[in-house]
């Protein structure tokens, strides 16, 4: 993989990633007249539930579902400049112009929110990046092909290692939102990466569960879960290095989790064979998501990586792929129980979902 670093007109970093067989110079300059990025994010602590909330009101003005000929993630042309100055690219990563977290955020904040002494206040420190998977506006991850998909995996690993090395970053989260039903604001095939200055609530809960399981049984929770699922009725597909299964207690109408056979904490720790094998399984399942109903399912692809420091020896890397669609034309809404109490009620049976996904004919 070849990485080329450049700067956009407002000073943000842009990184071009090319496979070794197709190097490119990427010499185009960003000629736009852009004002400096202004980030006013804050982190406020919800003392009742013990979680941090990012307050990022400046994101109200971010670009929202522009027509294809105005897409800011497509390559630049002589008639129109975009976020990517070059006329073509393979994979591109750049700092988000409307970030929830940023390293250049104002550090001078009061100790707590106005009138709320229990709501500790911190700067919205971190980094948010956009990952463009291809310069073809009409493609999706499902039809990238193995070579490009593998390049994206390498990019995720590169960014995880680099962002995790930033002082103050505690966890790196790579993800893709796909489909307007999910809430995407740009239809170009892309994902995002967040570098958080704290350990996320999901990771904290998982690590606490791992500790409780060890104290109660002497066993390893990740290992026990994976061993059970590999031999159970919910496996969708598998190979030597990865198993993709519908979890027994899924929260979403359609969810598949991907676990490597070998315990690793994060994407950088995967070797070449494991990265190739992931691409094989992932593209297979994405194809099933695209063909299960009459139209492709929306989804969120969420990498669960170990925190930068806490609990790395206990963690097992895995990916969650889930959709809100429960039937053709019907979505699962996070209504009273889910949104109000965080108590999920699933409208589908995990074993049935696995069987339906296995039955999909993947071209």
Which residues have a catalytic role annotated? 190
DSSP string, 81-128: --SB-SS--SEEEEE-SS-SS-TTS-----SEETTEEEEEEEE--SEE
Q: How far apart are CA 350 and CA 256, in angstroms?
A: 10
Check: CB of residue 53 under 8 Å from CB of residue 44. yes
Check: CB of residue 222 under 8 Å from CB of residue 261. no
192 phi-psi bin (left φ>0, alpha ψ -120 to 50, beta other): beta
Check: CB of residue 1 under 8 Å from CB of residue 154. yes
Q: How far apart are CA 309 and CA 287, in angstroms?
A: 35
Listed in sequence order, the DSSP H helices in the chain are: 146-164, 201-217, 221-230, 272-291, 341, 350-359
Check: CB of residue 351 under 8 Å from CB of residue 235. no
* Chain centroid offset of residue 227 CA: 25
Q: How far apart are CA 82 and CA 359, in angstroms?
A: 42
Question: What backbone phi and psi angles, to 5 degrees, belong to 84?
Answer: -110, 110
Q: Which two tokens stand for residue 109?
A: 């904040």
**Of 342, 345, 48, 50, whose CA–CA distance to 204 is shortest?**
50
**Of 263, 267, 269, 295, whose CA–CA distance to 282 is shortest?**
267
**Of 172, 152, 176, whose CA–CA distance to 161 is shortest?**
172
For residue 55, what are the β-bridge partners? 42
């Amino acid at each position: 993989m070849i990485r080329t670093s450049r700067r956009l007109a407002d000073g943000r970093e842009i990184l071009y990633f090319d496979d070794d067989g197709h190097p490119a110079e990427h010499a185009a300059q960003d000629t736009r007249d852009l004002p400096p990025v202004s980030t006013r994010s804050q982190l406020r602590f919800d003392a009742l539930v013990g979680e941090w909330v990012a307050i990022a009101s400046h994101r109200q003005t971010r670009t929202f579902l522009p027509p294809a000929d105005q897409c800011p993630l497509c390559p630049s042309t002589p008639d129109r400049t975009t976020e990517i100055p070059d006329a073509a690219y393979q994979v591109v990563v750049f700092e988000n112009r409307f970030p929830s977290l940023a390293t250049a955020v104002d550090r001078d904040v009061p100790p707590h929110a106005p009138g709320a002494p229990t709501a500790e206040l911190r700067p919205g420190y971190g980094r948010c990046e956009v990952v463009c998977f291809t310069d073809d506006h009409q493609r999706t991850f499902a039809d990238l092909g193995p070579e490009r998909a593998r390049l994206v995996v390498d990019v995720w690993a590169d960014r995880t290692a680099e962002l995790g090395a930033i002082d103050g970053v505690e966890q790196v989260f790579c993800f893709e939102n796909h489909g307007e039903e999910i809430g995407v604001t740009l239809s170009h095939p892309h994902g995002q990466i967040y570098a958080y200055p704290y350990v996320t609530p999901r990771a904290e809960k998982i690590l606490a569960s791992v500790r409780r399981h060890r104290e109660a049984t002497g066993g390893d929770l990740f290992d026990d879960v994976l061993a059970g699922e590999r031999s159970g009725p919910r496996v969708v597909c598998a190979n030597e290095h990865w198993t993709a299964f519908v979890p027994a207690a899924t929260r979403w109408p359609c969810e598949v989790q991907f676990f490597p056979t070998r315990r690793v904490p994060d994407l950088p720790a995967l070797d070449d064979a494991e990265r190739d094998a992931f691409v094989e399984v992932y593209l297979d399942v994405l194809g099933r998501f695209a063909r299960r109903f009459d139209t492709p399912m929306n989804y969120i692809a969420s990498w669960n990586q170990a925190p930068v420091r806490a609990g790395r020896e206990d963690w097992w890397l895995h990916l969650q792929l889930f959709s809100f669609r429960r039937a053709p034309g019907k979505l699962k809404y996070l209504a009273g129980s889910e949104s109000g109490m965080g108590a999920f009620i699933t409208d589908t049976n995990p074993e049935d979902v696995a069987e339906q996904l296995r039955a999909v004919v993947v071209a």
